[in-house]
Chain A
Amino acid sequence: MKYVDEYRNNEQVQALVRAIRKATTQTWHIMEICGGQTHAIARYRLEEMLPEQVRLLHGPGCPVCVTPVTLIDQALELAKRPDVILASFGDMMRVPGTREDLLQVKAHGADVRMLYSPLDAVRLAETNPGKEVVFFAIGFETTAPVHMMALKEAQRKKLSNFSLLTSLFTVPPAIDAILSDPESKVDGFLTAGHVCAITGNSAYHQLAEKYKTPMVVTGFEPVDLLLGIYRCLLQLENGSYFVENAYRRAVPEEGNPAARALMDETLEPCDQEWRGIGIIPGSGLQLKKTYAIYSSREKFPFLPRETEISSECIAGNIMRGVSQPSDCPFFGKACSPERPMGAPMVSSEGVCAAYYKYS
């Protein structure tokens, strides 16, 4: 398969593994931020191929996993209304709220639709004028522009029965929070290539400087990931720290100006709760006041605002890079993809689910 096979090529993988072995002289902790990268690392068993001194830590970059329980409860509440069609990506269907998940409320009669694109939700609103179509819009900077495209499309079509229940996160404040944590072990970061393809690299230059930590823009295939790890190691071994682009085929330095302009027009930063971690200042995106008519929370102001969570799950520590899934006493026992106790076991891109599936 073109554009994929080249980046899974065994000779290139082995050559990079050899180069990494040769370059490594001491223990380094490298965190990949993105759940898609975590999934690929687990799937291709890349950690086993690395020298023991290179330790990979797995960051909080799975939007399904970090969407707070309160928001899931809001989605469930909306889905149960007879005047609402609740649509979302397939991954959200099994994420447990306080008491149930979307598949369960669907089984009890709620109109819940699994879609592959938010634009399909706009079409759904068009064909169901008597219903409010709520799209549960989760994601990082990668997905946010697509949600905003749907919003603009709804605006263009003058639809008044379309709204977004947003759960949008941004990566740089999360990296800031992880690196400023005194417990942090992270020596270098692999930043998420598809996020940088939208945002560009400017925010990462500041972070690399502030924490004297290498940041390598990295892709998602085995060759991409190993190249990212290798470039990060070279910086660490040399004592340098800067933003380096190891995913040039997808990421221009300035990102995607059109997508950024759309986000700037419609969204503004907000403090955001991350499931398992807590509130990270300025790490979320919310609809600007001018677009409030497309906000499900504005349309349905009665939605639950707070949820009490009591859990022995150590998800927060895992996603901050302080613990590994194997440190958790529940991993693979009380906690499994069928019965997840915490965020990282929920989505296939969550770190615990990826470890559970492939090892």
Chain B
Amino acid sequence: MKNEDFNCPVPFNDSDCVLMAHGGGGRMTHRLISDIFYPAFRNPLLEQDHDGCVFPVQEGRMAYSTDSFVVDPIFFPGGDIGDLAVNGTVNDLACCGARPLYLTAGFILEEGLPLSDLQRIVRSMRKAADKAGVQIVAGDTKVVERGKCDKLFINTSGIGVVPEGIRIAPDRVRPGDVVICSGPIGAHGITILSARESLGFETNLKSDTVSLNNMLSQLLKNIEEVHVLRDPTRGGVSGTLNEIAKAARVEIVLDEASLPIPDAVKGASEILGLDPLYIANEGLVLVILPETRSQEALAVMKSFPEGKNATIIGRITGEDNAIVKMKTPYGNYRIVDMLSGEQLPRIC
């Protein structure tokens, strides 16, 4: 390990990997915090050096969400478990209509994890947090024996503020609404799969992991009538839309020809027997709103890099029949059901 890899004043001259003692609460724990976590996450709220973080609250409504990340491998084209963990919770808050403010981060580290990997991951978390405009204000670290977890698991929780007038909820979905998809479907899941050594195929795909809050906050500023925002992570587009259909008791009809599925995702799915609609995405959002406002919404989304390929993929066609259907290229319809069992393990 080269000293210049780190911006901390004292390099890890005693160990280059995580030891059980790093989780013991003693000197080693403090070294880990002061050498790795603090330099990466540095902000005044974190530096209160307290058991938790104290901050002023605003009037109105807040959103609060949590998510855990166990992706394998921890580094993959387009991202790593760190930016995934920040973007995941930021996006969950943004999909509540909230402006994300603060995150906490909990780390479960496996004994033997190279400290350089941990360093790389926390820096990538900081970068993702800066891009999303959030601060990581509290954290926790535990170390488990080798073999008791796989390299590292991260939990992030986050708090955000919901602006006045915004109400995002599945029960607001009405016939006449359209479903906008912000970009290409399936990139994250297929990237993770192809990054696994055992699969032996390569694609030029990258994970789509990205924070969506800047785009969504602009969208809500322009269009208060947005009814639902959802990021189709595990379970994919199909799982997410089925949840919405059931919660709102509406029929959703997708148009197969309009689905933005990259050729590499299609090809890999054909080979592996997967359906892109069930594959996890990490930088995608489904926006449901009245058709009358859809062109305006598309214009806002397309002005952000993460929404430049936004397109309408379906509409809400009826009430009381809580299903998702797809119009095939031949003009007939098939059911798009929820996934039975798991399609792929540990994708996020």
Question: A residues touching B (Cβ–Cβ < 8 Å)?
Answer: 1, 4, 8, 10, 13-14, 42-45, 48-49, 90, 94, 115-117, 120, 222, 336-338, 348, 356-359
Contact = CB atoms under 8 A, between A and B. Distances in A.
A325 B25 CA distance: 61
Contacts of A10: 329-330
A37 to B, nearest CB: 14
B14 interface: no
B341 A338 contact: yes
Nearest to B326: A358
B329 A348 contact: no
B237 to A, nearest CB: 16
Which interface residue of A45, A115, A336 has the most chain B CB atoms within 10 A? A45
B341 A45 contact: no
Interface of A, secondary structure class, is helix
A116 B272 contact: yes
Given A357-B335, A358-B335, A13 B266 contact: no
Nearest to B332: A45
B204 interface: no
Contact of B334 (A49, A116, A338, A359): A359
Contacts of A358: 334-335, 337
A337 B200 CA distance: 29
A48 B334 CA distance: 11
Contacts, number: 51
Given A10-B330, A337-B341, A358-B337, 17 more contacts: A4-B270, A10-B329, A13-B330, A42-B334, A45-B328, A45-B333, A45-B334, A48-B332, A49-B330, A90-B273, A116-B272, A117-B200, A120-B200, A336-B340, A348-B273, A357-B335, A357-B340
A359 B272 CA distance: 23
7 contacts: A4-B270, A44-B334, A45-B332, A45-B333, A338-B341, A356-B337, A358-B334
Contact of A8 (B199, B272, B329, B340): B329
Given A10-B329, A338-B340, A1 B334 contact: no
Contacts of B199: 116
B330 A222 contact: yes
Contacts of A8: 329
A83 to B, nearest CB: 19
A1 B267 contact: yes
Given A13-B330, A14-B330, A359 B198 contact: no
B328 A337 contact: no
Interface string B263-279: 10011001011000000
Contacts of A120: 198, 200
Contacts of B340: 336-338, 357
B330 A45 contact: yes
Contact of A1 (B263, B328, B337): B263
Nearest to A359: B335
Nearest to A89: B273
Nearest to A103: B341
B334 A43 contact: yes
Contacts of A90: 273
Contacts of A49: 330, 332
A178 B243 CA distance: 42
- Counting from the closest, the 5 A-B pairs by CB-CB distance are A337-B340, A45-B332, A358-B334, A10-B329, A1-B266
Given A337-B341, A358-B335, A44 B330 contact: yes
A182 to B, nearest CB: 35
A101 to B, nearest CB: 10
Nearest to B265: A1
Interface string B188-208: 000000000011100000000
A338 B341 CA distance: 7
Nearest to B329: A10
A114 to B, nearest CB: 8
Contacts of A1: 263, 266-267, 270
Contacts of A115: 198
B278 to A, nearest CB: 11
Interface string B319-343: 0000000001110111101001100
User: Which of B270, B334, B337, B340 counts the most chain A CB atoms within 10 A?
Assistant: B340
Contacts of B272: 116
Contacts of A14: 330
Given A338-B340, A348-B273, A44 B335 contact: no
Contacts of A357: 335, 337, 340
Contacts of B333: 45
A337 B340 CA distance: 6
A120 B332 CA distance: 40
A188 B34 CA distance: 75
A358 B198 CA distance: 31
Nearest to B264: A1
Contacts of A45: 328, 330, 332-334
B328 A44 contact: yes
Nearest to B273: A348
Contacts of A359: 334-335
Interface in B294-348: 328-330, 332-335, 337, 340-341
